Structure 1
Amino acid sequence: MTEKSLPAASYEQEIFNSASAGRRRSREELVALLRTWLADRFESEDLQLLDPRTPLGAGTSSETVLATARWTSDGRSQSRDIAFRIAPDSFQLFFEPVFENQYRVLEILHREGSVAVPEPLYFESDTAILGLPFYVMGQVHGRVPVSSPPYNSAGFLFEATPAQRRVAWETAMDQLCRVAKVPVAQFTILDEPRYGESGLVQQLEYWKQGLDWYCNGEVPDEVHQLDEWLRSNVPPQAVNGFAWGDARIGNMAFDDTFGCVGVFDWEQANIGGIHQDLGWWLFFDHFHSEGRGHVRLEGLGSRTETISYWEDNVGQLAGDTTWYEIFAAYKVAILSIRSLLLVHDPNALKVESNPTLARACQMADLRTGP
């Protein structure tokens, strides 16, 4: 009897369940600790944390808890919707994550003011509180186009009119372009000279050094081939620039008018150049449409429209985006391997269990399999 991988329909739920199971305390215990800590910050003995919950479509790289804080200040009742983000516990998706950098990037972007990020409120590095560092930010109210099921097949964008989808796409693209125009000089905290001189070389070296960790010491040949291909074909015009790192519509929130009101998830932020985000965006646009057998919804921009919008609003030529799309697929394939290993999938290291790895090899014209 042959071993089988997790069915696609249950894969993301299994990952989420494993991440949740690896946490060191119950939701009730966590909320009680956070309430005591926040009451101290707000100097309020009567502070309550109401309606604690996990956001719809939450990822697994960190734990996120939403709640409403209610307290009394100077005799007046106060309330604020907030979000707690807690560093990875035993379920660690990224190699050597620098958790505090997420918060510092939020601080820089919020201060700069052009990108719609949540307001950062507090960072707590003292692990005596929860056993892990965490930070607090203001909530952004809106709907997120989740990836399971893909937004091209269900959800609020699927149910919207083409005109409403167009508003969502254009305002999302506007935010993507705004990220590209934030001066890279503000992000010295993301410079990693131990990995190389330029930001893009640093990114390549970071992922290479993490391969054994991601793959439990058994790196598939296809992953090594992709690493060699990427290094041999680095775009000659690459320059440092601030990259979001996880640039996709699924990491954005939209209000009732379908305008983009929030940009989230900065754990992959780096200074490897703005073309990375365009490549990542194009990769995921394909992945959540044709890549999963769905027709792109009318109103959401095509590949050609996306590149044209980016060029017109960033003021740079996109050039040949193939390298950046392959780099995106390479990273996603590695993260997929890591996720499958964490849920003990017996075929985690096989290319046939990793369509993203197969696609990356196909795009780079590399041979796969024995």
Structure 2
Amino acid sequence: MTIQQDAPNPVRAGEELNIAALEAYLPIGPITQVMQFPGGYSNLTYLLVCDKKQYVLRRPPVGAKAIKGGHDMGREFRVLSLLQQAGYAKIPQPVAYCEDESVIGCPFYVMERVPGVILRAQSAPKLGLSEPTMRRLSEALVDTLVELHALPVQPDLVQLGKPDGYVQRQVEGWHKRYLAAQTDDLPAMNELARYLTDNLPAQTSDVTLLHNDFKYDNVVMDAELTRLREQPIRAVLDWEMCTVGDPLMDVGTSLSYWAEAADDPFRKSFNLTWLPGNLTRHEFAQRYADRSGRDVSNILYYYVFGLFKNAVVIQQIYGRYKQGLTKDERFSGLLAGVQALSGVGVQAVETGQL
């Protein structure tokens, strides 16, 4: 069965691009059409159609300057360039980066479009994918994460982060980001911050490249999803938060997105892992352990951190909406998402279960 490519929509009002300025700056020729991909709540992503090729442009959301250290387009482009140099094939090929805000009003970068399909929570349930197919795809996600963590961490890649003290810095940093973006009093968020601070894992010498946002809608699948003998994942997208550090932080983040059938509607709304056939969170962690050889006995801590981090990201987006920095009505109800994820985190701590 062939699945249609991820379809872009007309550009949303207030998020238009200066096409003439792009054509003058980019070495890709005349741009015949510009569309916008609807998925995601963070960076804005556009399709640029030229005579012979298609490209993808990524830029920060409106109002992103208020978030210190976030939406770094130059860093994401650099990561893609370093991965390209390291011979990692599952990436879109980077084309150009522009830090001159006079071109379209913000930094941006352009990469080649990888043909294929992106499975999103809103559309995937309508595709009628079988349980064996979903099982295979979820296993492929785990295996791709293992593959990514097996990449040799060359000196250029090490410079992407500071492995020593990585987990502690992440906990402290995301807590500070939450306090900076906080709009309401949410006791569960404070409880999670205390748990993460009081239960920091021991420093590990196991350092790998981390994607930090690894999930279904950040990979491009082969459109022929039912070809069971083929590797279905063609490219990994969204490298904005890529760094080096404890690989279980990556696993925990992926697990925090991994909704199951019995989970609340909000969690099921941004991943399709609840569809029949997918691995459970426990099975995900076990397959990762089996394929990587890593000890995941303390994976609960990393899962709770992932929930906390995602809740902070949602709080940041909601905060921009409350300040009037974006008019996207999708963001108006996101406080409930912060409450949902923090509540799940507290429950996980209390029960000791993923």
Decide whether aligned partners of structure 1 residues 297 and 94 sit closer, same or farther in structure 2, where only a CA change above 3 A counts.
same
Distance 1:96 1:332, change over 3 A: same
Whether the aligned pair in 1 keeps the contact of 2:98 and 2:107 (CA below 8 Å) is yes
Q: Which of the numbers 100, 103, 111 marks the counterpart of 1:126?
A: 100
* Distance in 1 (alpha carbons) for counterparts of 2:321 and 2:126: 27
**Matched-pair contact (CA < 8 Å) for 2:41–2:317:** no
The equivalent of 1:8 in structure 2 is none
Measured in 1, the distance between the counterparts of 2:193 and 2:62 equals 28
Tell me: CA distance 1:37–1:285, structure 2 relative to 1, closer, same or farther (3 Å): same
**Contact 1:211/1:219 (CA < 8 Å) preserved in 2?**
no
Match for residue 33 of structure 2 among 40, 43, 51: 51
Cα drift, residue 85 of structure 1: 1.0
Q: For residue 46 of structure 2, give the secondary structure of its aligned residue in structure 1.
A: strand
Q: CA deviation at 1:21?
A: 5.5
Other-structure match for 1:248:
215
Q: How does 1:1-370 map to 2 (within 5 A)?
A: 23=15, 26-27=16-17, 30-38=18-26, 41-42=27-28, 47-57=29-39, 59-70=40-51, 79-91=52-64, 94-97=67-70, 98-114=72-88, 116-148=90-122, 151=124, 154-156=125-127, 159-185=128-154, 186-191=156-161, 197-215=164-182, 220-236=186-202, 238-239=204-205, 240-258=207-225, 259-286=232-259, 289-292=261-264, 296-344=274-322, 354-365=339-350
Q: CA deviation at 1:83?
A: 0.8
- Tell me, yes or no, if the aligned pair for 1:49 and 1:67 is still in contact at 8 Å: yes
Shift of 1:299: 3.0
Report the number of matched residues.
Answer: 320
Structure 1: gaps spanning 5 or more residues: 1-15, 71-78
Checking the alignment, whether the CA contact within 8 Å between 2:192 and 2:342 is kept in structure 1 is no
Name which of structure 1's ranges 83-92 and 122-131 shifts more when overlaid on structure 2.
Answer: 83-92
Rounded to whole Å, the distance in 2 between the matches of 1:179 and 1:219 is: 38
Render the CA deviation track for 1:178-228: whole Å, top value 9, x for unaligned.
1211234442343259xxx42222212221232332215x66443232212
Contact 2:92 2:112 (8 Å CA) reproduced: yes
Distance 1:328 1:20, change over 3 A: farther
Opposite residue 363 of structure 1, the aligned amino acid is A
Shift of 1:352: 8.9
CA contact (8 A) 2:162 2:245 kept: no
Give the 3-state SS of the residue equivalent to 1:61 in structure 2.
coil
Asked if structure 2 preserves the Cα contact closer than 8 Å seen for 1:127 and 1:133, the reply is yes
CA distance in 1, matches of 2:246, 2:276: 31
Larger-Rg structure: 1
**Partner letter of residue 242 of structure 1?**
L
User: Which secondary structure state, in structure 2, belongs to the residue aligned with residue 290 of structure 1?
Assistant: coil
- CA RMSD across the alignment: 3.1
Contact 1:201/1:272, CA 8 A, preserved across alignment? no
Instruction: Please give the per-residue CA displacement for 1:2-25, whole angstroms capped at 9, x wherever unaligned.
Output: xxxxxxxxxxxxxx9xx95564xx
2-structure distance, mates of 1:110, 1:274:
21
User: Normalization by structure 2: what TM-score?
Assistant: 0.79
Contact 1:336–1:354 (CA under 8 A) maintained in structure 2: no
The 2-side partners of 1:50 and 1:276 are apart by 42
| Offset from partner CA, 1:284-306 (integer Å, 9 cap, x none) | 112x6432357933332233432
Equivalent position SS for 1:364: helix
> Do 1:61 and 1:93's aligned partners in 2 also have CA atoms closer than 8 Å?
no
CA distance in 2, matches of 1:66, 1:187: 29
Percent of residue pairs bearing the same amino acid type: 21
Contact 2:178 / 2:315 at 8 angstroms: preserved in 1?
A: no
Counterpart of 1:256, as a letter, is: A
| Structure 1 residue 270 displacement after superposition | 2.6
Distance 1:170 1:209, change over 3 A: same
Change (3 A) 1:290 1:184: farther
